[in-house]
Amino acid sequence: MTQPAAKSDYQGRIHNLQKDMIGRYYSRLTAAAENKSEKAIYMLVSGNPVELIEAFDMIPVYPEVNALQLAVKKQSLPLILAAEEMGYSTDNCAYVKADVGMYFAGRKTPFATIPEPDLILCNYVGCNVYLQWFEHLREYSNAPIYNLDVPFFRSNSGEPFADDVQYVVKQLEEVIEVLERMSGKKLDYKKLQRIVALSGETGALWSEIKKLAQNRPSPFDAYFDSVMMMAPLYCLRGTEDGLWFFQEAYKEMKKRADSQEGPLPEEKFRVVMEGPPPWPYLRQFRDMFSRWGAVAVASTYSTVGGIWEFGFRHDPNRPLESIARHMLQWNLTNTNFLERYRQIKEYVSAWKADALVIHSVKSCRLFSAGQGDMREYFTKELNIPTLLIESDIEDPRYFSEAQLRNRVDAFFESLEHQRMMVHK
Amino acid sequence: MATTPVQGISQLDSVFASCREIAQDMDFSTAKQWLKENPQKKAIGCFPVYCPVELIHASGMLPLGIIGGGNEIEVTYADSRFQSFVCSIVKSTLELGLTNRLSFLEGMVFHSICDPARNLSSVFQRNFPGLFVEYVHFPQNFASPLGRQYLAKEYQRLLNGLQQRSGHAPTADDLNRSIDLYNRIRASLREIYRIRTDSPHLISAAESFVLTRAGTLMAPENFLKMLQGVLSELPGRPTRPKDRIRVVLEGSFCELPPLGLIETLEQAGCYILDDDFLRGWRWFTEDVPLQEDPLAALAESYSERAYYSGTKHDTRERKAEHLIRLAREKKADAVVIQAAKFCEPALFDYALYRKALEDAKIPHLQLEFEEKTWSFDRARSEAETFVESLLFD
C-alpha cells in the first residue's frame, strides 16, 4: 500500500536562523582564507576541544562539515573522482576523497573558500580514518600537526579509566602551549571557563530539545531535522551566538510540542535511526520515510559530536577535565559498539519507538562495520523490528533509489500489517 | 620432483613443508597438541597487527596469532554480521569463532588498528560471553613522551586482566625472561630477512612467510629452536641465483596474503627482499632492552624501535620516507604495493606512496588481494608484464 507523498521539510524559523549563522561562519572562513584574518585550526567534529580554539580567538575548520556540504550541494562526485585519479581507492572513505579533491581544486566551494590550516589538530576520537585524513592534509599543506590521542572508551564501569582522563588532560595542556606559541599570548583561564560554561548550557538545551521528541507526536524529526541543528553545535559551540541559536530552537520546539505539532501531518511510526544520512540524496531519502508517516524520534548520528541527553555537561569549574571527558566518553565515535547497542536500546524504550532503521554507509566503517550483528541483536534478542539498508554518506554512486525504496516500503508494509493483525 | 638431496636440504624442505601445514591448519592442531601436553596452560589469541605477546607469555599463557581463515574456510555465518565492504580477515576471524574453532582459547586481544577491527572486538564480546576479550589502545601521539608513558599504563591494565585469567602474576624477572625469548625470535627473523636481502636465492619469501606464520601458532620456545635450525642450514643450501628483479613489498601487514600469491610473484620473476607480512610479530628493529621496568621498555620500544606500520601514525616522519629509504637500502629495482581489499590503512597509504615513488623514480606495481583467493592468473600476468618491462627496459 503506497502512502500519499507528505511534506517533509522542516520550515520553522530556526531553519532560517541556522542558514544565517552558518552563512556568517562560512564568511569568516572565506575571510581567513583570503586575508588571513584569523588562524584556522583544522579539527574533527566528534568530541573535540573547540573551547580552547575559541579561547584563543581562532577559527575551527571542520573538513567533515565541508565534505557534507559538498555532497548536499551535489558537488562531491567530481572531487571524489579527482582523488581517485591521484591513487585513492574506491574503497576509501569518500569524505576524505571529496575533501582532498577540494583541497587540490583551490579550496573553493559554493559556500566558502576554505583557508589553509595554520594547525592541524587531529582529535583522534575513535575513528582511525581521522588519523589518515589529517596525516594526508599535513603532507599536502605542510602545516604543523598535533595528534591529540584519545583512548577508546572501553571500560565497562560507566566511567573512563583514570589514566585515560589524565592522559588526555595532559595532552590538552600541550595543545594550549602550542596555541600560546601560535598566538603569542597566554591562555586567559577565566575566558576559557566562560566558554566552557557556554558549551555546558548549549549541551543542556540540546539535550532538552532531544527529550521533546519523547512527545507524541514528536515536534521534529530527530534525524532529518537534527542534522540542521548539528552545524551550529559544531561550528558555534562555546559562543554566545551558538547558545542563542539553541535557546531559540528550544523555544520553537517546545511550542510545537505543546501544540502537538509534528513534522508530518500524521505520525504513524516512531523509529530510531542509526547511521549517517546519505547527504547527496537527503531529500529523496527523507521522503521514503515520510510517505509512511515514519518519524525519527532519536538518532545516533546526532550524537557524533556529543551525547548530552544522558546528563553530560561541560563544567566551567573543571574545564580541561570536562573537555577530556567529552572526548573520551560522551560522543558516539569514541564509544564502543556495544555501548551503541545500549544507547539505541535506551532510545527505543524511553523514546517509545516502534522500530530501528539502520542506514549502513560504506564510507564510514566506524559506523557500519558489524551492523549485521546489531540487527541480529535487536531483532532476535530484543524482538524489535529492524531494517538494514545500505548506501553512502558522500558518494552518490552508492545510492540506489529504487532498491532502497523497495526495502523501506516492504518494511513499513509489514509493520502496518502486523498492526492490523493486532487490532483485529 | 623427488631427488635425493644432501641431508641439509631435505631437513630445510621438511621444515618448510611442516610450517606450511601448520600455517594452513585452521583447526590449530599444533597449538592444541601442545596445550594437551601442558594442561596447566591456556591460550590467548592475538589479532593483528602488533600484540605485546610477552605479557601473555609471562602470565603463563600461550599467545597465538589468530589472523583470519585464509583460503581454508568458507565464510557462512559471519557474512550476515559484517557487510560486503568489510575486509575478509574481519569476517573470517569471526567465522572461526562462530564455527567453534576458537573455543579452545581463553581469550582474544584486539588492538586499535582500524575501525572494523575495533567493532569486531565488540562483536566478539557479545557473541562469546565466556571469552576474555581485551581491546588495547595503542597511542597515536608519538611527538610527545606522553604517548609512551601512557602505553606502559595500558600494558599494566592488560597484564592485570591476563593474570586474573591465568592465576599467575608475573614478576619483572618473568617479564624480562619472556622479552628475552621473543627478542631471540625476532632477532632470528631479522637474520632471515637479512639473508633474503643478501642472498635471495637461499630462502624464498613464501618459505619465510610460512615459517613466520607457523611460529605464531606454536610455543615460542619450540619456534626458536626451529629458527635456529633453519639459520644453521640456510648458508649451505645449494640453490642458485636466478635472473629476477629485486623488489620490496609493502601493504600486507594485517590480512595474510594467500601463499599462492606470494609464490606467483616469485615465479613471475621477483626476488622479494623485504616485506611487511606478519609485521606485528617482527615489530622491533632491534632488541627490546631488559630493564627494571619491563613494561616501560616494551612501551618505549613500540614507539622508538619499531618498523613502519600503516596503523601507527607517527607524525615525526613523512609517510613514504621509510619506503623510499628501504627500497634504496635494499637496492631494489622496484616496489610492490600489495594491499588487502577494503583495508583502509593500506589503501590510504598507497595514495601517498604512489606520488612519492614516482617522484623518486622508483617503479612500482600495485596489487590488491583477499586472503580467500585461489586463482592468481591476473596477478601473474600483471607481475610478468611488470617484470619484463624492467628486465628488458
The predicted structure's pLDDT at residue A423: 78
| Test the B interface: residue of A120, A154, A343 with most B CBs within 10 Å | A154
Closest in A163, A368, A372 to B153, CB measured: A163
3-class DSSP state for residue A337? helix
Q: Write phi, then psi, for B208 (nearest 5 degrees).
A: -65, -35
In terms of Cβ atoms closer than 10 Å to its own Cβ (0-12, 13-18, 19+), residue A266 is: exposed
Q: Write phi, then psi, for A124 (nearest 5 degrees).
A: -80, 100
Alpha-carbon Rg for chain B, nearest whole angstrom, is 20
Question: Could you read off the pLDDT tens digit of each residue along chain A, which spans 424 residues?
Answer: 444 444 556 667 899 999 999 999 999 999 999 999 999 999 999 999 999 999 999 999 999 999 999 999 999 999 999 999 999 999 999 999 999 999 999 999 999 999 999 999 999 999 999 999 999 999 999 999 999 999 999 988 889 999 999 999 999 999 999 999 999 999 999 999 999 999 999 999 999 999 999 999 999 999 999 999 999 999 999 999 999 999 999 999 999 999 999 999 999 999 999 999 999 999 999 999 999 999 999 999 999 999 999 999 999 999 999 999 999 999 999 999 999 999 999 999 999 999 999 999 999 999 999 999 999 999 999 999 999 999 999 999 999 999 999 999 999 999 999 999 887 7
Contact pairs from chain A to chain B, CB under 8 Å: 157
In terms of Cβ atoms closer than 10 Å to its own Cβ (0-12, 13-18, 19+), residue B101 is: middle
| Test the A interface: residue of B47, B77, B79, B83 with most A CBs within 10 Å | B83
Interface contact B129, partner A, CB < 8 A: no
Alpha-carbon Rg for chain A, nearest whole angstrom, is 21
Cell of A349: 524504550
Interface contact B77, partner A, CB < 8 A: no
Q: Which residues in chain B touch residue A131, judged by CB atoms under 8 angstroms apart?
A: 140, 313
| Chain A contacts in chain B segment 261-320 (CB below 8 A) | 311, 313, 315, 318-319
Cell of A348: 527505543
The predicted structure's pLDDT at residue B371: 96
Chain B closest-CA separation from residue A399 CA (Å): 15
Residue of A166, A90, A124 lying closest to B313 (CA atoms): A124
Q: Which residues in chain B touch residue A128, judged by CB atoms under 8 angstroms apart?
A: 112-115, 118, 311, 344-345
The predicted structure's pLDDT at residue B128: 98
pTM: 0.96
H/E element, B110: strand B107-111
Interface contact A128, partner B, CB < 8 A: yes
In terms of Cβ atoms closer than 10 Å to its own Cβ (0-12, 13-18, 19+), residue A282 is: middle
The predicted structure's pLDDT at residue A163: 96
Chain A closest-CA separation from residue B151 CA (Å): 10
CA A82 – CA A328 distance, rounded (Å): 35
The predicted structure's pLDDT at residue A8: 57
The predicted structure's pLDDT at residue B41: 97
Cell of A331: 560522543
Amino acid at B78: A
CA B75 – CA B96 distance, rounded (Å): 9
Percent helix, strand and coil across chain B, each rounded to 5? 50, 10, 35
Cβ atoms of A18 and A245 within 8 Å: the answer is yes
Q: Which residues in chain B touch residue A138, judged by CB atoms under 8 angstroms apart?
A: 315
Residues 6+ apart with CB under 8 A from A361: A275, A276, A278, A367, A368, A390, A391, A392, A393, A398
Instruction: Divide the 393 residues of chain B into consecutive groups of 10 and give the mean pLDDT of each group.
Output: 49 96 97 98 98 98 97 94 97 98 98 97 97 98 97 98 97 98 98 98 98 98 98 94 97 97 98 98 98 98 96 95 98 98 97 98 97 94 97 80
Chain A closest-CA separation from residue B314 CA (Å): 9
A373–B355 C-beta distance less than 8 A = no
Residue of A nearest to B354 (CA): A87
3-class DSSP state for residue B2? coil
Structure ipTM: 0.96
CA A117 to chain centroid, in Å, comes to 22
